[in-house]
Each structure stands twice: as structure tokens, then as C-alpha cells.
Structure 1
Amino acid sequence: MPTVTQSPYTPEQVKVWLRGLLTLAWADGNFDDDEKSLIASITEDELAPGLDFDHFEPVTPDEVAQVLGDDPAMGENFLRMAVMVALADGVYSVEEDTQIQALCAALKLQETVLNSVRSTLYSLKPENDQLAAGLRPPAQGKLDPLKPAREWLDQLEVHDPRLARFVCKLIPSQCPFERDVVLFKKKLVHIPPMCKINPLYEQLVGLRFRALSYLADDCGEDVTPLL
């Protein structure tokens, strides 16, 4: 039987936290039926049963800041998870970066680490229709510009079962297969497997493992369905 774990967050804080992550999940406007089904399965018990995507109201950065309060630790933990959500599909887009910058400003947090994450911004190479080299890990022996981001993201801890389940469902248990991004039946770009192109993939895997461990060890939940 699951253990009743006391969350450090109020129900209102968890709700706005999840709404913020959901708003960010479709910040780039690329939100198809499969993604709607995934988000619905993630949020049906955690956010609102029968969520109406056609009338869902995105949360504003000011609303997030107002509900989460002036606790810098809570704000930074939320921002870490927001960055993780942006990275979950293997692409950190300009639209997602704009949203995260606005959240960072509303929460009155420093952008220093975001400058490191921003080096992975998504773009296209017209000559070969591939992702820009900025998404690739640094060559061996070269300085790693993402080291501050890795260390910052690795500090993200999950202390709420609803957020933990959200993380486990959002981040795939295995490296996603390569895929084509298609719009109006025209291929826009070919994306290799996420573990090959996302230099912060290990941080995503680490967060998922910590969320699973929290649910199993602290909450006493059966995490088999999430594996």
C-alpha cells in the first residue's frame, strides 16, 4: 500500500506548476494529436480530469511567480523542471527559450545557467536538412560549454508524487527512435535518436531515475507501470 507522503507544495502550487509545464510543452506550437494524448494521460489525474485542450488557458509567468511565492529554491526547482520539459523531445526551440526567459524574469532568478542551455538552440542547416551542430556534445578534449547547465540540472530533486509521475511519463524510458518532422505532408527536418543529438540527455535520464526512486522509496508506490 502506498505511503502517504507530505508534499512541500500546496495543491494550488502543484496545479500552477503542472499548468506551467503543460504551457511550455506546446510553446513551439507543434502539438499534434499524439502529443495531446500523451499530455492527457499524464495530467488526467494530476491536473484536471477531462482536460479540454481547445479551451485550456496557458499560465502566465506572472501567475506562476504569484502562486509559487518568493521562495527562490522553489522557483529555481520549477525552472529546472521547465528546462527539462523543453529538452524532453530532444529539441530546445527559440519559442521554448522565450517562455523560459520570461519565467526566469518573473521568478527573479539569474539567467547565467540559461545562457549555457541556450547553446543548444534548435536550428536547421539548409544544405543538409539536419540539426545544427550546437545540439551535439562537444568533441573530446574540448571545453564543455554545457557544464554549468549539467551541474545545475543535476541538482533538481522531486519532492511531490504528482510531479514525479509527470516526469516519469514525460521522459521516455528508452532513447526515442529517430523521426521526421512533417508539416502539410512535407518533411521539414529529420531528427536522429534523441540520445545521439541531445547533449543533456543524461540529465533527463538522471531526473527520471530520481523521480522513480522517490516514488518507490519515499512514497512506497509500485513503479512497474512506469518502467
Structure 2
Amino acid sequence: MRFLTETGVVTVSAQLRDRHTELRRIAEILLEPTDSWSAQLLSEYVYVLKARMEQGDTNLRSVRLAARAAANLLKSAQLKLGALPTQKTLESFWRRSPGQVAAVTGFIGHLNKRHGLELQVKPDARWLCQARRQKAERELVAMLSEIADDDFERRWIVKGLAYFHDVARASRRKLVFQSQEYRGVAGYSVTYEEKILWVPSASSYQYGDHSSRVISTLRRNP
């Protein structure tokens, strides 16, 4: 088959290949729940999503992303048989995975409609901003226990940009930076979208009373 494809005898549709890939990923997501109740809730939701897709209201990739977020929420909730997510459960999930807030709104709306719940589908902007910053801080702290490798410096700066300056998903490969002290604290001067931003080094973040005061000021004035 590969020979026939390469020689042009058989043409494989890229669109068809992408469709098969998405369907396979969705099938894998449906197998993730470890209990029958969560599996049922997820399966019901995916069935609704596919029905919407057949009506032209969504596409296969969106179905997969929505299913991914729903599966993550169900895994986090660890529901007992017949139980449903509560607002507290949902807030805990948002706090740990603020990047999934938008993707999981459809599932929350589905639960509200199908099971008569009144869950808030999305947190307010201030709460979400705080949750994102807390997550970024946890990731920074976790990096302090890592053994530094060749890519550590760039990964640290990306996490630092997220925590100190609310810059989400900065590209490690495209980073432009240089070592530079700020008020006597070691760190990096980073050029991002025509702005100059400063991020403390890992050692500065971890040690020193003076650096702690400077970094606290930076957090208050990102």
C-alpha cells in the first residue's frame, strides 16, 4: 500500500486520514474512565456531540477537544455511582486546569440540561486569572526540584512569563532573552511581542530575602 501511494497509483485523502485519526482519538478517550458511571456520562455527551456534528453545528476536532475536557473533569471528580459533579468539584477542576475552562463549558451545560443541575458553567474573569497564576506558581515551584538540563533555562523563562506577566504559551524556541539583574537580583531580560519583560532566575526565586522582596513587587506589578 505504501509503495502504491508513493508511486501515485493510489492517492490517500489527507482529509480522510485526519478523520480516521480524530475518530481513533475519540475512541481512546471513551475508554479512559475507570468506572462504568463516568464512562456512561462521557458516552452520553459524545453521542450528543456527534449528533450536533451530523447537523453541521460542529466538527470532529471540536468533538474530540470537548470529549477530552469532559474526560479530564470526570477523572478529577472521581464520582460515585449515580453522583454528579458539584460546583465545588468543578471549581477544584478549574483551579487545577484553568486552561480547560472554555473547553469544558459544553459538558457542564450538557449536565445542567440532562440532569437538571444548576452548575455555573464558567468562573468570573478575576477568579480565573487568579487560578491561572496559582497554577503557574505551582509549576515554577515544581521546577525547582528538577535536575537542570540544557533546556531548563528556556522552560523556566516560559513558566516565569506565565506567572509574573500572564503570558500564556510562550514558545521556548522563539524566546529572545539575555541574563540581566534587576535591583540586584539575577534574572533574564526577555523580549516578547516588542516588550521587555524581566523574569528572575531559578536560584533568585528560591533563595534570598532581598530577591523575595523584589519578586513580590514584580508580582504586584506584572
TM-score w.r.t. the length of structure 2 is: 0.26
Rg bigger for which structure?
Answer: 2
TM-score w.r.t. the length of structure 1 is: 0.26
Compare the two structures and name the one with the higher helix fraction.
2
